[in-house]
Structure 1
């Protein structure tokens, strides 16, 4: 059986390669047609060539099927082994579990890679992806969300990025499993397609889970429901009532494959390095880890069966995550580097964004081992304060900066939220003479749970309104 699968797989691979070549021929013909604009005879000939290449591509795609991977073969064998084991135990129909004797190709699970500037440059130059599973950086993620902010399904793309569900489960999500007041949604259904026909079914028992929503995600769902209601009125009797959260403007349910194709097209239009829709699951988990979320909580997003899988897959993904881990160690275990305050630190009101202030401590070697460290909100802004120390290198300057800022926070009732060491931003030849440390400071710690208690007489929804109003003030600030 497996020999037949491998033979069929080889034929499918050859078929796919032929289709890829036809695709390249079609695209080249289209580019020639575009370049021939304004030249009547040449344009006609180019148009005919394009139509012929496009027809050849459509013909070549007929019968195209997915390639059976080694992982799929292992799943087939596992299912067969389970059936044979049941037959041996229950019916005694078989003498041996022959599936356990089958030797299959090894499966290597590809690790996600991040789109670093070097990999982006290589992709732009050659069109090659460094690996099958790629993940955007937070900056690239923000650029994509800005690009699709006017798309009908903006809220869906936002949910994929920050929640990390599978496409079939998002396509099946009904409004009855969403609570925008308590800020949660429950994954309890999924849609699968067979020969492009949709079928609903329950997911695996360990995949049924409830995901908590951020205030922004909750507001997005409220916004999308309002858009749906507007389209319901515009389409009137032609509107299709499905009860799904995510639909077309006509109310029709989304096909999982259509969601993937739409996402791919948006990525192409944005000009960003390519990622698959499925890769957003990895992005969601990685962003949570980068934000400092406990790995047990992150495990719930992709629905992993163990935290070990989550740890092995994501903890080494983003370079920023590795740096943050090193910086957190430096922040937790400060070094005692003596320094002298030349100008007392003062954080002006203009540096605060709500209850958060972000600034840098820039150190520069003066004479010998003498270092001057100044705090600034921007490279060209006025100094917020200045210290001087005798240090052996940039690490001493960075450690002295941490102690300086921590002492200031302790004396003024502030909280040092985050420390990031940016020393590696300098070229190798400058690292002996310069230091750069990034600080995030908060005016107060997060309120206790009892701080969210509702005054007597207010309805339950008032709590959510108050929280959103508070969130809105923070964003406005």
Structure 2
């Protein structure tokens, strides 16, 4: 391997050149002030190429197909989708450092911070861990140092993260007993260690992660890209960017926004749909079968129904309302809508109009985006309604409330509760 690398040189990026020059400039400035060793800061005269911050790209199906066909990455910084991230966690479920990979994805720490994490800085009972140290590797030699002031922080743990970290700690406690009996255990006082208790080297962690990604068959990402993934997943859940900034340990939210907030397709669609849904629009529709809700279907005066739709090639949607996914339709309409969002608006408008005519009261209505599992991508779930046989509460009472996408099982469960 040494023979093969002879004569080869690693290309230094423009960003690294700037960091090197900044370090030299700082050292020369110190020498000018303290030792009067220099008369001029020559590093400031160096002209370097401009640095273009790479924009994180998501591994969409089209990019994955291109990578499989050519082996080329679309960009230097790539981010997995939630589905790809879940596939990786499933693949490494039995790995010795599963709790480390899980922490990288859900908390977004730096590798040096996790390699230096002391045992006493993790409190699983109180659901927190504190970042108070980091390890830096220079020419593969390790140096411990305190993080920047803004990087010293306490991270809250979810119940799942605490459970995963607890399982990892139990494995290491068991390994301590086995290796101690052979007088081979290395007491490093680190939370994450090798099987013999020896602390982890940041470069080794990066290489190990890269190898696991290769074995999983997933498109390649770097270990540091897990910070991008963590930030993107947090934003996808609607968390404020200030919360993400503090969790990642950045000095300002601008750094977080510019560097780590790659936009997942799901986040982009949510933003687009939220803009179109602000302004209510009337969607025309044709009634194919008038909506009828027989009294026998009401349980304690209430009924839960769902609006499902099938989309034709000409953008025509046939929407049906059912009490259960496998029941006969209680009513059916047809509408021309350019998107599922517009089709859902037509379904809501139809049920609202019909309930007003029949003197029924709508307790709640919510748009639901998804597909019914047994139909593949053919049958779309648009909306869910809870209707009471009491007096109509008027148009002002129609207040959509958020609910999670529901499948056939959830539909039957809701109907039973109603």
TM-score (norm 1): 0.65
Q: In the alignment, what sits opposite 2:117?
A: 173
Query: Does residue 185 in structure 1 map to residue 129 in structure 2?
Result: yes
Q: Deviations over 1:44-103 (max 9, x none)?
A: xxxxxxxxxxxxx34223686643321122122223334455566677776654433332
CA, structure 1 residues 259+100, in 2 after alignment: closer, same or farther (shift >3 Å)?
A: same
Q: In the alignment, what sits opposite 2:225?
A: 279
Counterpart selection for 2:185 from 239, 258, 265: 239
8 A contact 2:122–2:130 mirrored in 1: yes
8 A contact 2:32–2:40 mirrored in 1: yes
Q: Distance in 1 between matches of 2:49 and 2:191?
A: 41
Q: In the alignment, what sits opposite 1:301?
A: 247
Once the two structures are TM-superposed, the CA of residue 403 in structure 1 deviates from its matched residue by 5.5
Counterpart selection for 1:289 from 224, 235, 239: 235
Q: Distance in 2 between matches of 1:85 and 1:406?
A: 73
For these two proteins, the number of residue pairs brought into alignment is: 365
8 A contact 1:70–1:105 mirrored in 2: yes
Once the two structures are TM-superposed, the CA of residue 185 in structure 1 deviates from its matched residue by 1.3
Q: In the alignment, what sits opposite 1:362?
A: 309
8 A contact 2:307–2:319 mirrored in 1: no
Within a 5 Å distance, the mapping from 1:16-415 to structure 2 comes to 57-61=1-5, 66-85=10-29, 97-237=41-181, 238-315=184-261, 317-337=263-283, 342=291, 361-364=308-311, 372-374=318-320, 381-382=326-327, 386-388=331-333, 394=339, 396-401=342-347
* Structure 1: gaps spanning 5 or more residues: 1-56, 349-356, 423-433, 447-477
Which has the larger displacement, 150-159 or 380-389? 380-389
8 A contact 1:334–1:403 mirrored in 2: no
Q: In the alignment, what sits opposite 2:413?
A: none
Q: Distance in 2 between matches of 1:376 and 1:321?
A: 30
TM-score (norm 2): 0.74
* Structure 2: gaps spanning 5 or more residues: 298-303, 372-377, 387-400, 404-418
Once the two structures are TM-superposed, the CA of residue 372 in structure 1 deviates from its matched residue by 3.5
Structure showing the higher helix proportion among its residues? 1
CA, structure 1 residues 90+61, in 2 after alignment: closer, same or farther (shift >3 Å)?
A: closer
Q: Secondary structure at the match of 1:79?
A: helix
Q: Deviations over 1:10-40 (max 9, x none)?
A: xxxxxxxxxxxxxxxxxxxxxxxxxxxxxxx
Q: Distance in 2 between matches of 1:414 and 1:188?
A: 48
CA, structure 1 residues 239+287, in 2 after alignment: closer, same or farther (shift >3 Å)?
A: same
Q: Secondary structure at the match of 1:245?
A: coil
8 A contact 2:347–2:383 mirrored in 1: no
8 A contact 1:169–1:190 mirrored in 2: yes
Q: Secondary structure at the match of 1:262?
A: helix
CA, structure 1 residues 381+308, in 2 after alignment: closer, same or farther (shift >3 Å)?
A: farther
8 A contact 2:344–2:382 mirrored in 1: no
Q: Secondary structure at the match of 2:248?
A: coil
